[in-house]
Amino acid sequence: MQKKTKLQSNGSVLVVGGGLGGIRAALDLAEARKDVILVDKAPCIGGLMTQLDRTFPTNNCDLCTVAPFTAKDSRGGHLDMRGLTTVTAVKGKEGNFTVSLMTAPRFVNVEKCTACGECQRKYPECVSFAPGLDPRAPTCMRYPKATPYAYVIDMAKCADKEGLKQCCPVGAIETDALPKVEEAQCGSIILAAGAALFDPSHLDYFGYAAQPDVVTSLEYERILSASGPTGGKLLRPSNGQPPKKVAWIQCVGSRGLQKGAGAYCSSACCMFALKEAMVTRERFDSEIETTIFYMDMRAFGKDYEKYLNRAKEQYGVRLVHSRPHDVLRPVGMDKLQILYTVDEAPKHITEEFDMVVLSTGFKMNEDVKKLAEDLAVELYADGFPKTDCFNAVATSVPGVYVCGTLQGGKDIPETMTQASAASCLAGAKVAVTPRPKAELPAVTPECAGSPRVGVLVTLCDHESTALDTTALVEYAKSIPHVVCAAAFEAACDPSSFDAVKAAILANGVNRVVVAGSSPRYELEKYQAMLAPVGINKYLIEVANIREQAAWVHAGEPAAANAKAKQLVAMAVAGVMAAKPLADHVVPANKNALVVGGGVTGMTAALELAGQGAKVCLVEKTAELGGVARNLVKTIEGGDVQALIADLVEKTTSHPNIKVFTATEIVDHSGQVGLFRTGLSVNGAYKEIEHGATILATGATPNQPQAFLLGENSRVCTQLDLQKVVNEQPKEVKKWKNVVMIQCVGSRDADNPNCSRLCCQSSIKNALAILKENPNARIFVLYRDLRTYGRFEEYYQKARELGVIFVRYSVDNPPKVEAAGHYANVTFTDVIMGRQVVVSADCVGLSTGFVASRKSNEALAKVFGLPLTDDGYFAEMHVKLRPVDMDKAGFFVAGCAHSPKVIAENLTQARAAASRAMTVLANDTLVQEAKFAHVDRARCAACLVCVRACPFDVPQITVDDKGLGRSYIDPVKCHGCGTCAAECPAKAIQLNQFEDVQILSSLDQLLAKVNA
Amino acid sequence: MKSIYEYYAKWIREGKLKVSSDWNKERKVKFTIQDPCQIVRKTFGDPIADDLRYVIGKVVGEENIIEMTPNKSNNYCCGGGGGFLQSGFTEARRAYGKVKFDQIMETGADYCITGCHNCHAQVHDIGHHFGGHYSTVHIWTLICLSLGVLGPNERAYLGDDLKDVNVFHPESEH
């Protein structure tokens, strides 16, 4: 306990960097009621993602699902956000850092600036943001939906200060502002400042510096973007004409290929190139030919293989396995030429393209490197921080954590996971700050007054090009009882909400329809935003015109617009019939349930327990440790058995953790903050109460019927192979030939996804075999070698040591046959163009993982959770909420989410713990008014509801008149609506979804039919 | 790490290396340039290729340079690198070098200047093998020629047309 008080002495966490990772880390901490200072050197937050056009795999933007929550009034005052701010010095150590912060003057008073753009118009050299394609000028708004929503001036570039000052209609320009220097105390630091992108200017053979039509991926994103230099039109920079053929060249600045390139794989580029190619064909012109020149297609993330297949099969993106050596534009020619060769034919191919996109990777940002050096964080030679092999977010300096691309190249979901993991560890070092809870808004009589409906159309123009926003607003105005309707463009920008609030107050609006995207993301945001102007949260209806109109009818604008109007009219009818309702507050349970006692589950339990939560850890088998018990070492040399022993010891001895082995989950009820789960502990029933649940149930090592596995003693899986190398070194010393076959039982019809960890595990085993027996000849037969991130360096090492890597195609797989003492492996070497037979002493199959489908389905049923097609648990949002689940209070971590290596599982465990702490930090719980209620006068006590309820909530109680009637406890009710649908007397109504609301919507929809 | 081309160019600009192209004013012997992959494409990029051209221009006269297409960082590999010259597989190496040979022949130049010993050996060999009319010469040889310090025994790779130009101490031949 003493240790805890000491560490929790200083109240804040400093988060450096306001990109997506920094925002996530800061929000997790603020939601867990820890004070956070979020600084970014840029004038507004958002980072790299705000510059992207869209993100994979959904091919939409979605910044609006995260950024609004950084609004200053939305996080209970825990979040202190500072733009234009850099860390100039750091003193002290874990638990007690003193940081010096310097805030550069913005020269614009953010409180006064209305972002009218007058300064930008008066000073025409002022431009909005577009990296590499437009210079930065004195007044600069980085992207159209910037937070804070105000301009910033680079005074050094301004010649006419007085004129600039005078041009502002609200006097917001302050030409004589000075930098502000402050000191802050903090217990821990999270570095989330992102990475720089590789600059290919010096690679003359790609022509980037000389040819306008050769662009980097980020520049291509800007060209695609509606807020980019061409206003969302795909045009060639050289001549302003639309391109007919676009090519991507992969691994520019990654995998050690060019001068100045990192040796690592940047991990994200294969996927963003696929996305850019798909978006090019989907959004601009399906006639545009898209070709990606690649080395290995690294689609290793959850469901990414399916995305790759979709790109190839559905979108016709052409993939060429080649490293082009030249991009040329011969004198007098309008087009670019790419010169390359392919595996199959040793000849020189010249192909013409209109544009060439260089898929540039990540590299360490020099400013960030300097800060890391000031903090004495150990760095690799390439500048990225060294992190622990079992803790990817912990640096060599206690109390200093990293996440996102600053830690190494990665995509958004992994950035979000690391951000939450970093906030878990950083947050453990600072105390929870109690704040007075705001009172719930009262349900006033005006709420129910004569309906005055406001319609807000919140579409992003670049997401819904098919819809005519202006026409939709005009149409909304014509609907009876609609008193105001307006388009509201910056749904991702919290500051722009003020204009909306003002409009609502001015028009006396008491009911609101939001025409935007899914209510799953929109409703909560608008409920929080409109509560201060007195709109009852149950008098807001969302019309999902993005998914249901713009997207599904993307190619048919007329149909999309007609449907959008109908959806809005239905929502208006529904909201008119809605009733204002009051939530109520109940005490919350602050315990956690962790399902699964592998390394992931134990890590999650320990992180939660360390932050004071009481944890029940439930394991199905008799022993803790899970699949990791079969592993010896990680590729970096981390001792897995020592890790397990340490985790088991800590878990079983922690006073806050109760371990139940040989235990299954049998039933479950309740809601976030108030769950009840029934356990069968060695066959005996036990019920526990908890506020949050983490699923860490792992996955199953695959054992496919292939390549004589299980039939021939020479054939084994990589897991078995690792054991043999570890336990029988004498045997290994005798081996002459070893063959490894990749993608066995993965990336096929039965198991379409990539198992992610097999490429590195075969290289790990190859290196281990060579250590015992340097003379062994090792062949790795692969389809795409997916050694992402730093695993690439081990791949290169294996090649240097003479491991022979041979590519096979899925139509021509290798053959394995028993041949006396050996197993003969026959394969085609593409480069030699002939068949090779190897008499192998050992054939190691990279069999990967499959979902534990049966047990996952059983758990999913008990908990009411969705699974993916291949049986893994589905997260809420593949991009931005990678560990949250659809059901509030549930989180997923480890291989239960998708296969991954131990370090990644542990990162996810910490992320899930961090997300769970945002729930468990609450002493009380707002119980939504969405529950079923019984009209006792109509009830005949027929017991239909009692039998129908999946949660056994309705009971027949006796009232004061002695009559037995159904009673539904609002606290226990899940609001599923089953009883309301079943009740023969229509005595049961579900709040927020009463018959009258639904029927009003339907009447509106069918008005013409009925008439 | 720096390339000697950069120093040649620097010393010529500074007047330390007093080269002259006067010897070629009347003769108008044409030269093309092989950009070595290691120095240009892989390491220093176009700026070093420009230095090389500056030096060659001063030594043989700019008007006497005929460029290959493509060139500089996009120049084709000669086909002799990576140990190919020593590894056997002579047929394959020459087949690979045919691309380079055709490229040189297309310029119609009398000489191909190479700046790297490896390229020199390969360019010379493919010229001989495929019956080309050009000679292969190292940049160093031409700098010395233009300075008037190239001795009679240092002209093995010069064609007959240049054997007698600016010979330094002709008496040292024997």
Which residue of A lies nearest to B92 if distances are taken between CA atoms?
A: A346
Taking CB atoms and an 8 Å cutoff, what residues of chain B touch A330?
69-70
Which residue of A lies nearest to B49 if distances are taken between CA atoms?
A: A204
User: Was domain A197-363 assigned CATH 3.50.50.60?
Assistant: yes
Fold of A445-580: Rossmann fold (3.40.50)
Are A204 and B46 inside 8 Å of each other by CB?
yes
Return the CATH number of A599-699+851-920, one of 1.10.3720.10, 3.30.479.10, 3.50.50.60, 3.30.70.100.
3.50.50.60
Round to whole Å and give the CA distance between A840 and A853: 34
Taking CB atoms and an 8 Å cutoff, what residues of chain A touch B52?
none
Round to whole Å and give the CA distance between A610 and A7: 12
The residues of chain A that CATH labels 3.40.50 are: 445-580
Residue A206 DSSP class: G
Cα distance from N-terminal residue to C-terminal residue, chain B: 40
- pLDDT category of residue A448 using cuts at 50, 70 and 90: low
Which pLDDT belongs to residue A9?
43
pTM more than 0.90: no
Of residues A205, A207, A339, nearest to B41 (C-beta): A205
Chain mean pLDDT for chain A? 88
Round to whole Å and give the CA distance between A750 and A37: 48
Which residue of B lies nearest to A203 if distances are taken between CA atoms?
A: B45
Q: Which residues contact A4 (CB under 8 A, 6 or more apart)?
A: none
Which residue of A lies nearest to B41 if distances are taken between CA atoms?
A: A205
The secondary structure element, H or E, covering residue A792 is helix A791-800
Which pLDDT belongs to residue A124?
55
Q: Which residues contact A54 (CB under 8 A, 6 or more apart)?
A: A60, A61, A224, A275, A279
The residues of chain A that CATH labels 3.50.50.60 are: 1-103+179-195+364-442, 197-363, 599-699+851-920, 701-848
The CATH superfamily holding the domain A701-848 is FAD/NAD(P)-binding domain (3.50.50.60)
Nearest to A283 by CA among A36, A485, A53, A598: A53
Put simply, whether B6 touches A (Cβ < 8 Å) is no
* DSSP bridge partners of A805: A780
Mutation target among A201, A203, A204, A336 for the B interface, most CBs of B within 10 A = A204
Which pLDDT belongs to residue A139?
39
Q: Would you call B162 helix, strand, or coil by DSSP?
A: helix
User: Was domain A105-178 assigned CATH 3.30.70?
Assistant: yes
**In angstroms, what CA-CA distances link A335 with A243, A329, A647, A670?**
10, 6, 60, 64
For residues A187 and A11, the answer to whether their CB atoms sit within 8 Å is yes
Q: Residues 108-127, chain B: which have Cβ within 8 Å of A?
A: none
pLDDT at A443 over 70: no
Residue A696 DSSP class: -
For residues A770 and A776, the answer to whether their CB atoms sit within 8 Å is yes
Let me know the angle formed at the C-alpha of A306 by A740 and A411, rounded to the nearest 5 degrees.
85
Which pLDDT belongs to residue A601?
98
Round to whole Å and give the CA distance between A353 and A291: 9
Taking CB atoms and an 8 Å cutoff, what residues of chain B touch A204?
41, 45-46, 72-74
For residues A50 and A452, the answer to whether their CB atoms sit within 8 Å is no
CB atoms within 10 A of CB A505: 12
Nearest to A329 by CA among A294, A301, A362, A354: A354
Of residues A202, A204, A339, nearest to B72 (C-beta): A204
Are B41 and A348 inside 8 Å of each other by CB?
no
Which pLDDT belongs to residue A227?
66
The model's pLDDT over A206-219, given as tens digits with 9 standing for 90+, comes to 999 999 999 999 99
Among A67-76, A328-337, A521-530, the least confident range = A67-76
The residues of chain A that CATH labels 3.30.70.20 are: 931-990
Which pLDDT belongs to residue A704?
94
The model's pLDDT over A360-412, given as tens digits with 9 standing for 90+, comes to 999 999 999 999 999 999 999 999 999 999 999 999 999 999 999 999 999 99
Are A326 and B70 inside 8 Å of each other by CB?
yes
Taking the alpha carbons of A287, A288, A292, A298 in that order, is the dihedral positive or negative? Answer: negative
pLDDT at A62 over 70: no
CB atoms within 10 A of CB A29: 32
The model's pLDDT over A544-587, given as tens digits with 9 standing for 90+, comes to 998 888 888 877 889 999 999 999 999 999 999 898 888 878 88
Q: Residues 44-63, chain B: which have Cβ within 8 Å of A?
A: 45-46
Q: Which two tokens stand for residue A512?
A: 């609101």
Within chain B, which residues score under 50 in pLDDT? Answer: none
Q: Which two tokens stand for residue A383?
A: 């500048």
Nearest to A624 by CA among A668, A660, A577, A591: A660
Our CA-based measurement puts residue A132 at a distance from the nearest CA of chain B, in whole angstroms, of: 21
Between B143 and A133, name the one with better pLDDT.
Answer: B143
**In angstroms, what CA-CA distances link B156 with A877, B159, B164?**
73, 8, 12
What single-letter amino acid sits at A140?
C
Are B43 and A259 inside 8 Å of each other by CB?
yes
Put simply, whether B98 touches A (Cβ < 8 Å) is no
Which pLDDT belongs to residue A257?
82
Which residue of A lies nearest to B37 if distances are taken between CA atoms?
A: A205
Determine the CATH number of domain A1-103+179-195+364-442. 3.50.50.60
Of residues A259, A326, A339, nearest to B42 (C-beta): A259
Round to whole Å and give the CA distance between A645 and A390: 14
* DSSP bridge partners of A9: none
CA atoms within 13 A on the CB side of A158: 23
Burial of A229 (0-12, 13-18, 19+ CB in 10 A): buried
Taking CB atoms and an 8 Å cutoff, what residues of chain A touch B74?
204-205, 207, 326, 328, 339
Among A679-683, A923-927, A1003-1007, B4-8, the least confident range = A923-927
Are B46 and A203 inside 8 Å of each other by CB?
no
For residues A615 and A609, the answer to whether their CB atoms sit within 8 Å is yes
Are B69 and A330 inside 8 Å of each other by CB?
yes
Put simply, whether B69 touches A (Cβ < 8 Å) is yes
User: Was domain A931-990 assigned CATH 2.40.160.40?
Assistant: no
CB atoms within 10 A of CB A200: 23
CA atoms within 13 A on the CB side of A238: 18
Are A348 and B99 inside 8 Å of each other by CB?
yes
Nearest to A357 by CA among A271, A246, A257: A246
Q: Which two tokens stand for residue A281?
A: 């064909």
Which pLDDT belongs to residue A58?
67
Round to whole Å and give the CA distance between A819 and A880: 52
Q: Would you call the peptide bond into B70 cis, given omega within 30 degrees of 0 as the criterion?
A: yes
Our CA-based measurement puts residue A918 at a distance from the nearest CA of chain B, in whole angstroms, of: 51
Taking CB atoms and an 8 Å cutoff, what residues of chain A touch B45?
202-204, 259
Which pLDDT belongs to residue A530?
85
Our CA-based measurement puts residue A204 at a distance from the nearest CA of chain B, in whole angstroms, of: 6
Put simply, whether B155 touches A (Cβ < 8 Å) is no
Round to whole Å and give the CA distance between A572 and A479: 8
For residues B62 and A323, the answer to whether their CB atoms sit within 8 Å is no
pLDDT at A461 over 60: no
Taking the alpha carbons of A782, A785, A790, A795 in that order, is the dihedral positive or negative? Answer: positive
Q: Which residues contact A300 (CB under 8 A, 6 or more apart)?
A: A754, A756, A786, A788
Are B73 and A348 inside 8 Å of each other by CB?
no
Per DSSP, which regions of A283-399 are E strands? Answer: 289-294, 318-321, 326-328, 336-340, 349-353, 355-360, 362-363
